[in-house]
Amino acid sequence: MTKKTTRAAAVLAGALTSVAVADLVQPRHSILRNYPVAGYARFLMEKIRPEIQQYFIERNFDGEPFDRNTRTMIYRRAKGKDDHVAFGTERDLGAVGYETLVQSLAPVQPADTDLRVTVGGPDCTRPYSASRFNISAMSFGALSANAVLAMNRGAAEGHFLHDTGEGGLTRYHLRYGADLIWELGSGYFSARTADGRLDREKFVANATRGQVKMIEIKLSQGAKPGIGGVLPKEKITAEVSGIRGVPRDRDCVSPSAHPEFSTPRELVRFVTELRELSGGKPVGIKLCVGDRTQFLALCRAMVEEGTGPDFITVDGAEGGTGSAPLEFQDRLGMRLTEGLMTVENALVATGLRDRVTVGASGKIAGGADIVRRLLQGADIMFAARPMMMAVGCIQAQKCNTGRCPVGVATQDPVRQRAVDVDDKGPRVRRYHDATVKEAVALMAAMGASSPAELTHDMGRIVLGPDETRSYADAYRWLTPGELLEPSTDTPADWVRDWERADADSFRV
In the complex, the residues that contact ligand FMN under the rule CB under 6 A are: 136-139, 142, 165-167, 183, 218, 221-222, 229, 286, 315, 319-322, 361-364, 383-386, 399, 409
449 binds, among ligand FMN, ligand SF4, none (CB under 5 to 8 A by kind): none
- The minimum distance between CB 286 and ligand SF4, in angstroms, equals 21
384 binds, among ligand FMN, ligand SF4, none (CB under 5 to 8 A by kind): ligand FMN
Nearer to ligand SF4, 212 or 419 (CB): 419
Nearer to ligand SF4, 152 or 350 (CB): 152
Of 123-131, 251-259, 291-299, 396-404, the segment contacting ligand SF4 by CB under 6 A is: 396-404
- The minimum distance between CB 150 and ligand SF4, in angstroms, equals 12
Nearer to ligand FMN, 329 or 345 (CB): 329
73 binds ligand SF4 (CB under 6 A): no
Nearer to ligand FMN, 136 or 357 (CB): 136
Residue 346's DSSP bridge partners are none
- Residue 105's alpha-carbon distances to 102, 110, 445, 471, in angstroms, are 10, 15, 8, 19
Of 157-165, 203-211, 259-267, 405-413, the segment contacting ligand SF4 by CB under 6 A is: 405-413
234 binds ligand SF4 (CB under 6 A): no
* Cis bond before residue 65 (omega within 30° of 0): yes
Nearer to ligand SF4, 324 or 388 (CB): 388
Q: Which residues are CB-contacts of 385 (< 8 A; sequence separation ≥ 6)?
A: 65, 66, 320, 363, 365, 393, 395
Q: Which residues are CB-contacts of 345 (< 8 A; sequence separation ≥ 6)?
A: 377, 477, 478, 494
Contacting residue, 54, 237, 397, 490, with ligand SF4 by CB under 6 A: 397
> No. of H helices and E strands in the chain?
17, 15
408 binds, among ligand FMN, ligand SF4, none (CB under 5 to 8 A by kind): ligand SF4
DSSP 143-195: B-HHHHHHHHHHHHHHT--EE--TT---HHHHSS---EEEEE-TT-TTSB-TT
395 binds ligand SF4 (CB under 6 A): yes
C-alpha to C-alpha distance for 312 and 379, rounded to whole angstroms: 10
395 binds, among ligand FMN, ligand SF4, none (CB under 5 to 8 A by kind): ligand SF4
Nearer to ligand SF4, 206 or 221 (CB): 221
Burial of residue 498 (number of CB atoms within 10 Å: 0-12, 13-18, 19+)? buried
Which of 62, 222, 43 has the alpha carbon at shortest distance from 136?
A: 222
Which of 350, 378, 341 has the alpha carbon at shortest distance from 477?
A: 341
- The minimum distance between CB 230 and ligand SF4, in angstroms, equals 15
CB-hemisphere CA count at 13 Å for 464? 3
Contact criterion met (CB below 8 Å) for 301 and 267: yes
CB atoms within 10 A of CB 171: 12
- The minimum distance between CB 259 and ligand FMN, in angstroms, equals 18
Q: Which residues are CB-contacts of 158 (< 8 A; sequence separation ≥ 6)?
A: 131, 428, 429, 432, 433
Of 3-11, 64-72, 230-238, 392-400, the segment contacting ligand SF4 by CB under 6 A is: 392-400
- The minimum distance between CB 349 and ligand FMN, in angstroms, equals 26
C-alpha to C-alpha distance for 382 and 371, rounded to whole angstroms: 13
399 binds ligand SF4 (CB under 6 A): yes
65 binds ligand SF4 (CB under 6 A): no
284 binds, among ligand FMN, ligand SF4, none (CB under 5 to 8 A by kind): none
404 binds ligand SF4 (CB under 6 A): yes
Of 209-217, 330-338, 386-394, 487-495, the segment contacting ligand SF4 by CB under 6 A is: 386-394
C-alpha to C-alpha distance for 136 and 155, rounded to whole angstroms: 11
Contacting residue, 267, 380, 409, 421, with ligand SF4 by CB under 6 A: 409
- Give the interface with ligand SF4 as residue ranges (CB under 6 A): 388, 393-399, 404-406, 408-409
